[in-house]
Every structure is written in C-alpha cells, then in structure tokens.
Chain A
C-alpha cells in the first residue's frame, strides 16, 4: 500500500514536470533513438525540486533557444529551474559580475583563455571529483580536452574546471556544389591540389577565394584561424603547442612561414574577391554570400562549422576538409574550438548540472536540434540533425591530430587583441616578419 502511494506520488511528480516543460521540449521523452535510459537513470538519482540554477553564456538568438530546449530536459528530470541568459558581450559581463560578487552559478566560456584568467583569480570552482577521469574515458582525444579545461588556481595548483560541451570544427572549406560541378572542379585531396585548383580557377577567369576579416571590435580573428591551420599543416603538433605557450617566439621562422602561407592566399589580388585590400574590410558574416551569387564572386571560403548560419536561404553549400600537404606527412590535422562550462558560483545543483552534461541524452538532444558537434563517444551519431553535421562529425573523428584554436588559448591580450590587429596589418601591407614581431613585443611586455 505504502509503495503504491509512493509510486503514485512519483508518477504525479513526473507527469507534472512533463506538463510544465511540455511547451519547449522538441522530442517526446521515451521516443526516438535517443538514449532515454541515461535520462531516466539520471532523473531517478537526482531531485532538485525548488532549486534554481542561473547560467550565462555567449549564445543569443537561435543558439539560446536551443540551449534552453536542451536544458528543459534537465529541468524535467530533476525538478530544478534553470535560467539561461545569453549576452552579446559575455566576456565583459562575466568578469564584471564575478568581481562584483554577483556571478551566475554556471558560466559558458567561448574561450579557455578567459576561463584560465578567471581561475587564476579564484573566481572558478573546480568540477566535482572524478570529472577529469570521466572526460578522459568518454571523450574522443579525452586527455587533450582535460588539458584544455585544467588551469592553475590562485595558489598555482592545477585543477580541472572546464567541461567542454558543444564543439566547432574549423578546418573546413565551404563551396557551392553547382559552381564546382559546372566548372568541373574536383575536391582537392591535398594542399598541393588546393593550390593547383586555386590557380586553375584564376586561369579560368574566376576568383577562387572569399576572405573576410571584419567582425566589429573583433576584426581580424578569421585570419588567426588561417594561420593556425597553416601552422598545423607545415609544422608538427609539438611545435604548434610550443607556439601556443610562447616557448618558441612569434618571430620564429616556423610561425612567420605559416603567416606567409596565409598571405599567399589573402595577399594575392587575383585570389581574393575584391582584391587583397578588401580582405580586412569585408565582414566575415557577409563574406560567404559571394559563393552563392550568380555569377559566383568566388568558389571557396575557409571558415568554421558555424558559418552556414550566414548563408542565404536555398543554398547548395557543401564543404571539404581543408587539406594537408601530401609531401609533409603530418597526417590530417584538425583545428577546432569549443565552449566550456565552468562553475562560477558553487551550489549542489550546479554540480548536478555538470553531472547531467556527462549523460548521452544531454548531447543527443542538442545534436538532433542543429548546430552542435560533440566528441562524446557514447552518443548515437545517427541523431545529427542533417548530413552536413554528420559529415562535420566525421571530420572530427577522422582527425589524426586535434588542436584547439591557438588564439583562444593564448592570453586574452594576444589571442583576442594583438594577434587580431597584427593580422589586419599584415593583410593591409605589413610584412609577416614585422607583424609577428609586433605580437611578440606585446607578449614580452606581459611577462
């Protein structure tokens, strides 16, 4: 009798939770190929009724809607209330609120560099014990994710703070299928082929590339991605790591050569739509539209996996992996980035939320929505919303080397400052050596 009563109460609680969250849950619980077992196990183990978790992050608009939908499953599983608010100026807001003592429970950092800064100042709380071991076992290339999420705390002891959730792949070249098809161009398999194709397009009277560095106050960042990709394609990953840590200076011939490799594309008037002088002025959001104009303004656009948001409707976009040099034997390096979740204002509920991010269902629900990639090995990849995303997932899995966006790992004044502006200088005329020297001088002044 008593058990019946309990069961009745439990059912009541479950159904009321479901009714409450009904409005924004896109997938009915228990239906489809999702890992609902992980959901029910989690729901049975945790009860946070009446508790509230506040989260701030950089996602606004569609991404904010999606994360709210994904977190609604956490709400219905635990009974907690989650308030997510996205901000266009997240990087500034989180620093102000943390210093003033009004930080949210959880913050979603778009850059590990910022999270590391805040950890060093004592504003972050380490993740529950065992999280690093879990990440090592359950994420593809787990150790590298743990490394990226571990920073020294106030006393200099390395702790594990950042849980990577939502990853972007950056080593991609986007093109229009119809343009390639009609012109008879093949997908290049190596960097040599890509350069030959670039020349071929110029010979045929076309313009191969659309490159745009404009991004308001962040103008220049797309160039840093180019340089990082070139770094991975001309140097072994160990050199890349040394570069990130400034163990080799920016003025090292390896780095200067990588910048020049980027310049070979961006500083050639015949290669870029609008000429080399347009590169710095073109907004990165407007830049890819040239792929789809008729006649095409350009044929290829190197940009991360988020860029389709800015393609015009009814496009025939496709992508290929930004290839590596066949002769250099460096494998298939992939450049990526990701957002990491960290606890900025500890509470039990925040810890439970971090536990929830480990469940496959937390990943699968967003995979099925759109715009989400994950290195979680325990998820059903059939659930990706479309073939493009699945293809992106394959690039992630096919990587022989995965490296995180270097500019995101460097100190903010370099990776979100001098590196950007120096690359703008570089595309508008400065030599690679001078631009590199400027970044290094700034970095030296920080030490």
Chain B
C-alpha cells in the first residue's frame, strides 16, 4: 500500500511543516508589532516583546528617607519601608544592594556591608535599616531587584484615537482614497478593452509604452506634476491628488486589465459581434462582468497603496493640519519630536490597517469566485 503512486506521507509532512514554518515566519513581525502596540516606550526599551507576557525581574533604585534618621549607640540609623515610601503599597524584594554596580548582590534578610563601614539590611517586604557610623547628610540610594508583573495597556491606542483632528485625518484619507481608486479603474477598463479587443494601427506600440511606464519611478514626476498643477490652477488640493494617484496607478491598471481581458474566450466576443453588438455593448455587457475578478484585485491593490501612501499626500496636499491624511498625521504629529515613540507607531499601524483589512476580506471572495469558471465549458 505504501508504494502506491501519489501518496507520499513523508513528503506530505515535509510540505506541511514548511508551510507552517513559513506562516510562522511571516507572522512573527506582525505579532511583535501587535504586542509592542500595548507597551509604552520605556517598556519597549527595557525588555523584548517576546518576554513581555512573563514577569520581569527588574532592578530599581529608591532613596532612603532622611526624615527617619535617628542616632542609636553612636550609629546613625535610617529605617523605613521601600514600598510604602515609594507610593506602591506592596511588592516583594528578590535581592538588594547598596551600590548601583551590584543592585542584586544580597539576599533579603541578610546584611550588606557597604563602603565606609555602612550597612544595609532589607527584608523581603521592603523594610530596610541603613546604618552609618558617621553622620548621613544625603539620602542614600537603595537598589533592589523586584519582579514586575506583565503590564499591557491600551494607552497607545487611546493617544491615537483621542488626538486632535484624528477623525478629520480619517475622513481626509477616505476622501483621497475612494476617488483615487475608482477613477483609474474606470479609465483603465476602457483602455484595456481597446488595447485587447479593438484593432487599430499602433496598438502594439501603445501597449509597449504602457508597460514601459511601469518602470518609471513616480518620484521623478513629483516636481513637474506639482508645477503643472500650480500652473493650471489646481494647486495642492484633493483634485490634484486624485489626478496624481490616477496617473501613477494607470500603467499597472491598464497592463493588468488588458492581460486579463485578452485571455477571455474569443468565441463569446465574436459571437456577440456577429449578433450585431457594438464594441461598447460588448464591453459593458460581456467583458466588464467577466473581468470582475481582475477589477476587484486591482481595486484592492490601488486602495491599499493609496491608503498607505505618505509621499504623494505630502506633496500634493496642503501642509496644514486640517488637510493631513492619517499617514501624515501619524508620522508628523504622533511619533514625537524625533520619532522615538515605537509603541505609538505600532498601535497606529494596527489602527490604520483596520479599513484595508475590511476592504480586502469583502473583496477577496470576488477574487476567489472567478466569474469565468461558469461561462466557459
């Protein structure tokens, strides 16, 4: 039985394991980002995200309270409790020390001998006794190691969602994104049909030209396009950014749709033409419905790209805070003076990903369904 062709359990296992491995590999950064989004900047700096679910043994410093200084048998003594003085009600000390260089050298209950004949005793509950043969003038530091429970908070999300003008930025992003997705699809569908099914001289050259435009980096066109917009009188405005996104998106859209439409069965289109359909009718009644999966997949591409765009928005929209889109708002306003707030960045990534995810999952079934499947058999 084991030698029957087509069943190779060992190979199946290898495939399954490598799939699982790849999935995990791809997910790790996202999970890390998600975990970081619940932590503040200092936590991120202190410990790695994969250690965050566990209590961390962390070292702390506290000042002994000079007000409790008493003199006993020629010794100056300070007594107190680290936790009550520090404002925390409870805690437990795992180890302590009297110098910054050895913050966890002594077990609780033992006595540490410090420089200049000073001693320090700390109990597990935080009670400490500090003695010195000479007068104590400055509050001495006590260092201790203590376990801090894992700490997650929604603070980053709160900061982002409650910041001024965030709702405005969300609306602005939608104002940019929706037309910037629809306009190129409209134009590209017509163009793709013409390039795929209409015979006219120079068609091949046009297709080559469009494919050639795919490799032109959009950064090249930023300054001349903005100059043109200023000259025409559009300036920095929504109309300008729609046109810019349309222009930058069209080569890929035409190329993608044209390749898809060319693959549609010739029989259907020719029989429609024999029956007297005009090109426009063929386009709207036959090609367009059949091309729905391609239209949907390009729509997803274009939507994601315009949603995440920062550069084009910075160039083609005015720079005042009323016209910030979400990406600009996050990069220029929320990340702090010099971009050091990683927690905010992570949380912002998950907030701004929400809408594209919804779009992806609602449109995705069109990709999978493939309308063509039923029509040709």
On A, residues with C-beta under 8 Å from B are: 54, 56, 59-64, 83, 85-89, 93, 96-97, 99-102, 104, 178-179, 182-183, 205-206, 216, 285-286, 289, 293-296, 306, 309-310, 312-313
Contacts of B235 in A (CB 8 A): 102
Q: Does B230 contact A (CB under 8 A)?
A: yes
Contacts of A56 in B (CB 8 A): 319
Contact between B227 and A99, CB atoms less than 8 A apart: yes
The distance from the CB of B151 to the nearest CB of chain A, in whole angstroms, is 15
A114 to B100, CA, bound (A): 45
Contacts of B331 in A (CB 8 A): 88-89
A258 to B141, CA, bound (A): 40
A381 to B227, CA, bound (A): 46
Q: Does B20 contact A (CB under 8 A)?
A: no
Contact partner of A100 among B226, B333, B335, B340, CB < 8 A?
A: B226
Q: List 12 A-B contacts (CB under 8 A).
A: A60-B335, A60-B336, A61-B334, A85-B321, A85-B332, A87-B314, A100-B227, A102-B236, A179-B100, A182-B99, A285-B339, A285-B340
- Which residue of A is nearest B321, CB measured? A85
Q: Does B320 contact A (CB under 8 A)?
A: yes
The distance from the CB of A204 to the nearest CB of chain B, in whole angstroms, is 8
Contacts of B335 in A (CB 8 A): 60-61, 88
- Which residue of A is nearest B227, CB measured? A100
Q: Does B315 contact A (CB under 8 A)?
A: yes
The distance from the CB of A88 to the nearest CB of chain B, in whole angstroms, is 5
Contact between B141 and A182, CB atoms less than 8 A apart: yes
Contact between A85 and B319, CB atoms less than 8 A apart: yes
Interface of chain B residues 16 through 72 with chain A (CB within 8 A): 42, 45, 59-61
Contact partner of A96 among B103, B222, B332, B334, CB < 8 A?
A: B222
Contact between B227 and A88, CB atoms less than 8 A apart: no
Q: Does B102 contact A (CB under 8 A)?
A: yes
The distance from the CB of A288 to the nearest CB of chain B, in whole angstroms, is 10
A309 to B333, CA, bound (A): 16
Contact between B319 and A104, CB atoms less than 8 A apart: yes
Contacts of B278 in A (CB 8 A): none
If A60-B333, A294-B100 touch, whether A312 touches B45 (CB-CB below 8 Å) is: yes
The distance from the CB of A397 to the nearest CB of chain B, in whole angstroms, is 25
Contact partner of B315 among A63, A86, A96, CB < 8 A?
A: A96
Number of B interface residues, CB 8 Å?
35
Most buried by B among A96, A99, A309: A96
Q: Does B12 contact A (CB under 8 A)?
A: no
Contact between B226 and A102, CB atoms less than 8 A apart: yes
Q: Does B338 contact A (CB under 8 A)?
A: yes
Contacts of A293 in B (CB 8 A): 59
Most buried by B among A61, A294, A313: A294
Most buried by A among B60, B103, B337, B339: B337
Contacts of B236 in A (CB 8 A): 102
Interface of chain B residues 134 through 173 with chain A (CB within 8 A): 141, 143
The distance from the CB of B99 to the nearest CB of chain A, in whole angstroms, is 5
The distance from the CB of A242 to the nearest CB of chain B, in whole angstroms, is 32
The distance from the CB of A280 to the nearest CB of chain B, in whole angstroms, is 19
A104 to B318, CA, bound (A): 10
Contact between A64 and B336, CB atoms less than 8 A apart: no
A10 to B235, CA, bound (A): 38
Most buried by A among B99, B236, B333, B338: B338
Contact between B60 and A62, CB atoms less than 8 A apart: no
Contacts of B222 in A (CB 8 A): 96, 100
Contact between B230 and A101, CB atoms less than 8 A apart: yes
If A60-B332, A88-B331, A100-B230 touch, whether A205 touches B337 (CB-CB below 8 Å) is: no
The distance from the CB of A324 to the nearest CB of chain B, in whole angstroms, is 29
- Which residue of B is nearest A309, CB measured? B337
If A62-B336, A89-B314, A100-B226 touch, whether A205 touches B42 (CB-CB below 8 Å) is: no
Contact between B223 and A296, CB atoms less than 8 A apart: no
Contact between A310 and B340, CB atoms less than 8 A apart: yes
If A99-B223, A295-B103 touch, whether A59 touches B337 (CB-CB below 8 Å) is: yes
